[in-house]
Chains A and B, each alone.
Chain A
Amino acid sequence: MTLLLLLAVLDGLAYAALVFMVAVGLTLVFGVLRVLNVAHGSFFAIGGYVAATLGGAVATTAAAPWLALPVLLVSAILVGGLLGPVVEKLLLSRIYVKDHVLQLLVTFALFMILEDVQKLIWGVQPIFQDAAVKALGPVEVGDIVYTRYQLFLLPAVAATTLLGLMWFLRRTLTGRVIVAVTQDREAATAMGIDAARVYMLTFTFGTMLAALGGALASPTSSLVPGAGVNMIVLSFAVVATAGLGQIEGAALTALLIGLGRSVAVYFAPEFEVVIPYLIMVAVLLVRPYGLFGSPELRRV
């Protein structure tokens, strides 16, 4: 019983770290661009697929197994750096002036397209590549043998992302420029800030975060079609529970929902998928704008 609970907590932490990576990108992009990007889930899946492909190539050719780890980061930068600017310039920049429903439809259409792009490139068979997990090896926690990758690396990356983002947005010039554009685009533009560039940078960065989430998830679970939709729905639940645009809040709710889900995995497996949404509905019934949101939505 206690053993199962400990295992559930460990799993929950690792899972929360992954969900946070995706949710924080979603909430950041929404906070700045005011567009909820449904295709964010596809970026997660594509990040995972690219990481698995590159990881497979590295595992068979390179001498040093630890090389599988930087490959994860490289894949994320590759996916975000290539897809992010293209999608923002070709698609999103046309629809900032349209109403929310149309924006949602456009990103949903993009999501439909990208789902099939994945199928065409990587097929529908599950893909699994765990070189990164093997590179770090196992660790003993009490009586449980657990992977170092899930115990240390995933939470460390998530914590670094959270702290790094907080520092970046509050202490650096670029970060403050982003916050300025978020609060009042016109005033910021009048001050000589290139708002279009800020939008593109933010979107690219958000895309990288989603892809990194996918890359980090790929060594611990196999990639199948539908991974993207599950993640976008789940990370939306996290973001909505926290309040749209709330970064620190997203970390806390990711933890809450990640732990809730993994406890359900061990004790009521049929309801694994339902728990996150039960948490979301419960929170939204009491606080309609999320735990940390306010009606006016303080952004970023």
Chain B
Amino acid sequence: MGRNLTLPTVLGIALLFGLSFLAPWLKFVFTIALAKGLAVLGILLLLRAGQVSFGHALYVAVGAYTVAFTRPVAGDVLILLPLAVLAAGTVGVLVGLFVTRYRDIFFGMLNLAFSMVFYSLLEKLYAYTKGTDGITVVRPSIAGVMLERVPYEWTMLCLALTLAVGLGLLARVFLASPLGQALPAIKTRETRLEFAGISAKRVLLVSYVASAMLAGLGGGLIAMTTLHVTPLLAYWTHSGELVFIAILGGGGAVLGPFLGAVVFELVRVYAAAAFPDAWQMILGAVLLAIILFASRGLWGIYEDLTAKRGVRS
């Protein structure tokens, strides 16, 4: 746990920037990957407590639609993003008060149910959401400055990176705090946690709302990068993707979600184009393989590699 993450983080940032300079279209891919990484960071908090949500795309969609709805009124990234986080947090408290009464199966499936309800509302309430057509988002200004496309994309990438590093650090501090340390206790023996005078429900609710806000932030960033939102953001396949990235990256460290998300998005660019009808199948098969054979994910593999090298030298 107490590993030094500075070197891999700096290397990762350098690699992202270097690749973006070489192939400009990668800016877009990386920004989306980092935005999803933020949502997955939220999933990671819940995974620490042994809980998996099959419905976190709900909060991504809430964040994204908040941006789409308020863009005509408030046109700045610095206003839109906090609004997206706030909206996702509010929905997170409401849904969280209900779902944190449950664990395991109920927790996962109730989240799925809520996200699917939201999806169909987005699809059916055409008058407000334009249904499956979605809403186009006009490029917002950043701190009062309207930027052209290329500088805008660079700024969004930098913004996503800053948020990823900042919130990754914050998540690390949170996980090391007494509240964060209570999360694994929910997984191992909840009753003992309660005996120690700590409310498991409250611990889980705090983490749940935090995870919803992270997902909302990710959704806001996605809306500002793709400049178009559709109900598909809330669909179960999207929730499945987030869970997939969390497992792929591994839950061992806060870098896992971002590593997982970048690898995932890069593979997707090629694989989804080559096998559009078999994409979910590939995801499912890889997910099975990771669960059954490499349960600590990519980050676990990285740790194993570096650990061995450390012993040798």
- A contacts, CB < 8 Å to B: 36, 38, 91, 94, 99-102, 104-106, 108-113, 115-117, 119-120, 124, 229-230, 233, 236-237, 240, 244, 269-270, 272-274, 277, 280-281, 284-285, 288
Contact = CB atoms under 8 A, between A and B. Distances in A.
21 contacts: A38-B54, A99-B104, A100-B104, A108-B284, A109-B285, A109-B291, A112-B284, A113-B281, A115-B281, A116-B277, A116-B279, A116-B281, A117-B281, A120-B278, A233-B116, A237-B113, A269-B124, A273-B116, A274-B117, A280-B113, A288-B102
A106 B289 CA distance: 10
A113 B240 CA distance: 12
Contact of B104 (A101, A119, A280): A101
Given A110-B284, A233-B113, 13 more contacts: A38-B54, A94-B292, A101-B51, A101-B104, A105-B247, A105-B291, A106-B288, A112-B237, A112-B240, A116-B279, A120-B277, A277-B114, A288-B102
A44 to B, nearest CB: 15
Main secondary structure on chain B at its contact with chain A? helix
B65 interface: no
A184 B109 CA distance: 26
A113 B124 contact: no
A38 to B, nearest CB: 8
Contacts of B247: 105
A49 to B, nearest CB: 15
A90 B104 CA distance: 23
A257 to B, nearest CB: 12
Contact of B287 (A105, A117, A240, A284): A105
B50 interface: yes
Contacts of B117: 273-274, 277
Interface in B270-313: 277-281, 283-285, 287-288, 291-292
A36 B109 contact: yes
Nearest to A120: B277
Contacts of B51: 101
B236 interface: yes
Contacts of B105: 36, 100, 104, 244
Nearest to B52: A101
Interface in B235-281: 236-237, 240, 243, 247, 277-281
A105 B46 CA distance: 14
A97 to B, nearest CB: 13
Given A113-B280, A236-B109, A237-B113, A274 B287 contact: no
Contacts of B52: 101, 104-105
A17 B284 CA distance: 31
Nearest to B276: A119
Contacts of A284: 98
B150 interface: no
